[in-house]
């Protein structure tokens, strides 16, 4: 794991992500890129007076000062290198440019998650990063100074479109020396499969993937509940799901499953682009 990107907005959530990045960086000798995207006022470049470069320079200098203060934390001691990067605008597709330029392996992003009926992840900065990212995005909900990924659950519909995401999940598990738990959630209704049919479907998928992994078929009332309940039952540390990139999180069974899992999971969720 060479390089980790952490989007920084100076919030408690972004610091939670930074702590996880620091934990991983120390274990794997990784570098951290702290990426801050300025929210410059559109009026600055569209007003009749024209663009004021001195104002932009002032805002960038202020951001540089603030991010350097934000990165002055004891838990970053021992990290190979921490590089702050400031972009002028909040253009989330630019994250890919930074990732490609620096050969980044992963983005770690802080998120509020869900508070009652309020879905904070959906429409948030974390979701926008997930939608645009070409590399895996690890979404962190809470403070975790010593991040561990001993048990890693990967849930999908085991359709051919998710083969690339599955292989990325395997790589993630290997890098972190995590035990990979594959799970197919079987739910009531039109998509219900007998246990035998479910295993046949999954085995065909694994043959195409060239993998001989053991798969769990887990029955529950909904895919979201199934993924969360199965993960809790094995004391998982991370949940992995596929994503369709700019089309949003993968609705890999029915409905907004990806968003629901990411919102309601108490443990980190990592997304892999299809």
pLDDT at 260: 81
Considering only CA atoms, which of 97, 95, 88, 119 is closest in space to residue 109? Answer: 95
Does residue 3 sit in helix, strand or coil?
A: strand
| 33-37, 166-170, 192-196: the lowest-pLDDT one | 192-196
The answer to whether residue 90 scores a pLDDT higher than 90 is no
Structure confidence at residue 185 as a pLDDT band (50, 70, 90): very high
The answer to whether residue 107 scores a pLDDT higher than 80 is yes
Structure confidence at residue 102 as a pLDDT band (50, 70, 90): very high
pLDDT at 49: 54
Structure confidence at residue 166 as a pLDDT band (50, 70, 90): very high
- DSSP H or E stretch at residue 233: helix 223-233
Domains of the chain: 1-147 (3.40.50.620), 148-274 (3.40.50.620)
Structure confidence at residue 253 as a pLDDT band (50, 70, 90): very low
- Measured CA to CA, the distance from residue 88 to residue 69 in angstroms comes to 19
User: Count of CB atoms within 10 A of residue 272's CB?
Assistant: 25
Please write the tens of the pLDDT for every residue from 4-19: 999 998 999 999 999 9
Query: What pTM was computed for the model?
Result: 0.87
The answer to whether residue 191 scores a pLDDT higher than 80 is no
Structure confidence at residue 262 as a pLDDT band (50, 70, 90): confident
């Amino acid at each position: 794991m060479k390089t980790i990107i952490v989007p920084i907005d100076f919030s408690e959530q972004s610091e939670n992500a930074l702590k996880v990045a620091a934990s991983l960086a120390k274990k794997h000798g990784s570098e951290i890129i702290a990426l801050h995207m300025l929210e410059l006022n559109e009026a600055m470049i569209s007003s009749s007076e024209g663009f004021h470069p001195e104002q932009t320079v002032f805002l960038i200098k202020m951001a540089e000062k603030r991010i350097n203060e934000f990165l002055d934390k004891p838990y970053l001691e021992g990290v190979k290198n921490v590089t702050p990067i400031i972009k002028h605008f909040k253009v989330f597709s630019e994250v890919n440019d930074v990732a490609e330029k620096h050969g980044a392996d992963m983005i770690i992003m802080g998120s509020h998650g869900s508070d009652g009926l309020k879905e904070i992840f959906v429409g948030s900065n974390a979701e926008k990063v997930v939608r645009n990212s070409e590399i895996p995005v690890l979404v962190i909900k809470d403070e975790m100074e010593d991040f561990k990924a001993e048990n890693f659950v990967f849930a999908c519909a085991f359709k051919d479109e998710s083969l690339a995401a599955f292989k990325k999940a395997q790589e993630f598990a290997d890098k972190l020396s995590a035990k990979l738990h594959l799970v197919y959630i079987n739910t009531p209704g039109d998509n219900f499969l007998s246990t035998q049919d479910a295993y046949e479907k999954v085995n065909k998928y694994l043959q195409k993937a060239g993998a001989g992994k053991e798969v769990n078929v887990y029955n529950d009332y909904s895919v979201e509940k199934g993924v969360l309940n199965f993960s809790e039952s094995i004391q998982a540390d991370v949940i992995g799901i596929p994503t369709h990139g700019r089309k949003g999180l993968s609705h890999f069974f029915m409905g907004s499953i990806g968003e629901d899992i990411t919102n309601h999971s108490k443990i980190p969720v990592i997304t892999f682009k299809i």
